[in-house]
Amino acid sequence: MFLQKRILLCSVATAAMAAMIQPSTAAPWSRGFVVATYEYAFRYGGRAGFERAGDIEPGSDCLHGNSVHFANDKNTQVALKQPFRSQYEIESIARPPGLDQVRAPVETRFQIWNRAITYRGWKRGIETYVNPWAAEDPGQPEVTGKIATGFNLDNNPDTGDFVGEDGEKGIDFALYKAWGCDAPWRGNGNATLHLRANDKMQGGLYTMVIRISGNKDPNNDDNATLEIGYSPDKITKNARGDVAADFSYRIVKTEQYTKMKARVRGGVVETEQVAELHAPRLAWFYDHAGDADFRKGKIRLDIGADGNAKGLIGGYRNWRELYTENTFAQDGGQQGIREHEDHVALYYALKRNADGMPDPRTGEKMGISSTYRITAMPAYVVDPEKPVGVTVIAAEEARKDAFIAIRANTIKSTLTRTVQDVPPGTTEASFPTLERVIQLLPSKDYYLGILDRPRYPDEAEVIERTISTAR
């Protein structure tokens, strides 16, 4: 809300009296928003409502289709053709016999596959997801379309693989090219991981807010300020379950926060491009929530007549961090089998398409151009009366520590090409879940013998406790 004062000046002449209205005087203004949806700005080129036996239409953007890794036993069998595996071992893993004798046959097969695909290096004992470079590239279908939603981040119309929907050339969105055909990120507003991330955010995992302020007209101000950051206050919903408007949210300025210069023209907000743009990370579990660091970042926000907003956040993100955020949200095998994505393939796709943040020593591109799409509802974004920070959930801190540790090992591994171990505290290779679910399988000793897994000190008690719960 803002107050505009108008002063009526009257001048009396002998013949007539005329009235003039003085131009609006400048007054401070502020508009706040709470982010309602937050996702990669991947474009869907298929027809809305297309259905064919559960398939996703290839569409104009993914002419080679979407990823189908681990969708069935045949696809899983293809992924297991490492030199150290015999054909019998491959077939017995893909189609475990005796599943009809266990209490949970689908879960048992799932966990056997999980442990097997987690070790696909050139020799036994190399964990795949921490060391993806040690496995062969399974191949990732990549975007073939030439239209994308995003920014010309390097201000060069001759670079970038895409043209914007408005005809702008040089759109830099290499993450879309690399991952836009990955099954769980693909869809027309119904992509699995987009839905999951938004559901978790709206359910209280984290809150993102935006505040825009200035001293001229809120719809036209060439010297405005935009702030984006984390709020410790959970999103409020209305009776229909939608994100509600006009509630108050505190903004945290110590982390996951950026203040940027901006200009407003006709209700469209464009920020400057800054060296580092910090905002909350797209997440669906506490352990991998945190700071999304965009290099050469910028924001565009279109405020509608109803007060709602939609827009884009773009910049170059460290592609190794993106890889770990997606892979270790749960564990590599579980995430891959359930979502039909192979993170080894996603690793190579990121590396192949990286287009920014060159390492000054090696010249390697450390970043990949990325754009996130947001929608937002009007809100009161306020400074807290007392200092506040990012919410800490003590019960989840051990999992977060494990995520930080496995992220660090993975980044070190991919930078040095030196094999790294799996740190304790993760569920990589279905450990110790497989030990629990496999107890009634007649051939359990065979699988526990041939399938690699991480090894930790003092793990015997953990295994015994896990097995005892299955009896």
Mean of the per-residue pLDDT values of the chain: 90
Asked whether residue 415 is assigned to any structural domain, the reply reads no
Q: CA nearest 372: which of 201, 158, 157?
A: 201
Q: CA 323 to CA 335: how far, in whole Å?
A: 12
Indicate if 378 and 451 belong to the same structural domain: no
Indicate if 271 and 382 belong to the same structural domain: yes
The CA dihedral of 190, 196, 202, 208, to the nearest 10 degrees, is: -100
With 50 as the cut, is the pLDDT of residue 385 above it? yes
Indicate if 122 and 243 belong to the same structural domain: no
Dihedral sign, Cα of residue 79, residue 84, residue 90, residue 96 = negative
Q: CA nearest 282: which of 322, 234, 331?
A: 322
Q: Give me the mean pLDDT over the 192-211 stretch.
A: 96
Indicate if 176 and 295 belong to the same structural domain: yes
Indicate if 182 and 244 belong to the same structural domain: yes
Using one digit for the tens of pLDDT, what is the confidence trace for 322-342? 999 999 998 999 999 999 999
Q: CA 416 to CA 419: how far, in whole Å?
A: 9
Using one digit for the tens of pLDDT, what is the confidence trace for 122-156? 999 999 999 999 999 999 999 999 999 999 999 99
Q: What is the CA radius of gyration of the chain?
A: 26
Asked whether residue 407 is assigned to any structural domain, the reply reads no
Indicate if 147 and 233 belong to the same structural domain: yes
With 90 as the cut, is the pLDDT of residue 423 above it? yes
Using one digit for the tens of pLDDT, what is the confidence trace for 38-76? 999 999 887 666 655 555 666 788 988 889 999 999 999
pLDDT of residue 18: 34
**What one-character DSSP code corresponds to residue 272?**
P
Residue at a domain's end among 391, 411, 431: 391
Dihedral sign, Cα of residue 174, residue 176, residue 177, residue 179 = positive
Q: CA nearest 291: which of 254, 256, 329?
A: 256
With 80 as the cut, is the pLDDT of residue 1 above it? no
Residue at a domain's end among 343, 376, 391: 391
Asked whether residue 10 is assigned to any structural domain, the reply reads no
Asked whether residue 171 is assigned to any structural domain, the reply reads yes
Report which of residues 274 and 23 the model is more confident about.
Answer: 274
Indicate if 53 and 82 belong to the same structural domain: no
Tokens of 29: 């203004």
pLDDT of residue 27: 86
pLDDT of residue 4: 33
Q: How far is CA 1 from CA 251, 291, 302, in A?
A: 19, 31, 18
Asked whether residue 363 is assigned to any structural domain, the reply reads yes
Asked whether residue 408 is assigned to any structural domain, the reply reads no
Find the DSSP H helices in 11-104: 73-79, 87-94
With 50 as the cut, is the pLDDT of residue 110 above it? yes
Alpha carbon distance, N-terminus to C-terminus of the chain: 64
Indicate if 316 and 460 belong to the same structural domain: no
What is the CA 419 to chain-centroid distance, rounded? 26
Indicate if 83 and 49 belong to the same structural domain: no
pLDDT of residue 19: 33
**Amino acid occupying residue 112:** I
Q: How far is CA 90 from CA 100, 104, 166, 451, in A?
A: 20, 22, 50, 11
Using one digit for the tens of pLDDT, what is the confidence trace for 261-281? 999 999 999 999 999 999 999
Q: Give me the mean pLDDT over the 161-182 stretch.
A: 95
Q: How many percent of the chain have pLDDT more than 90? A: 83
Indicate if 98 and 49 belong to the same structural domain: no
Q: Give me the mean pLDDT over the 17-30 stretch.
A: 56
Contact present, 117 and 333 (Cβ < 8 Å): yes
Indicate if 268 and 316 belong to the same structural domain: yes
- Residue keyed to tokens 């590239």: 137
- Residue keyed to tokens 């090696």: 362
Q: CA 41 to CA 44: how far, in whole Å?
A: 9
Q: What b/e sequence results for 145-177 when a residue is b if at least 16 CB atoms lie within 10 Å of its CB, and e otherwise? A: beebbbbbbbeeeeebbbbbeeeeebbbbbbbb
Number of domains forming the structure of the chain: 2
Asked whether residue 413 is assigned to any structural domain, the reply reads no
Q: CA 374 to CA 202: how far, in whole Å?
A: 13
Residue at a domain's end among 374, 391, 408: 391
Confidence tier at 470 by pLDDT (50, 70, 90)? low
Q: CA nearest 178: which of 32, 355, 305, 435?
A: 355
Indicate if 307 and 359 belong to the same structural domain: yes
Q: Give me the mean pLDDT over the 184-206 stretch.
A: 93
Report helix, strand or coil for 299.
Answer: strand
Asked whether residue 405 is assigned to any structural domain, the reply reads no
pLDDT of residue 25: 54
Find the DSSP H helices in 209-331: 319-327
In which domain, by residue range, is 290 found? 29-57+140-391
Tokens of 127: 């964990």
Report which of residues 170 and 3 the model is more confident about.
Answer: 170
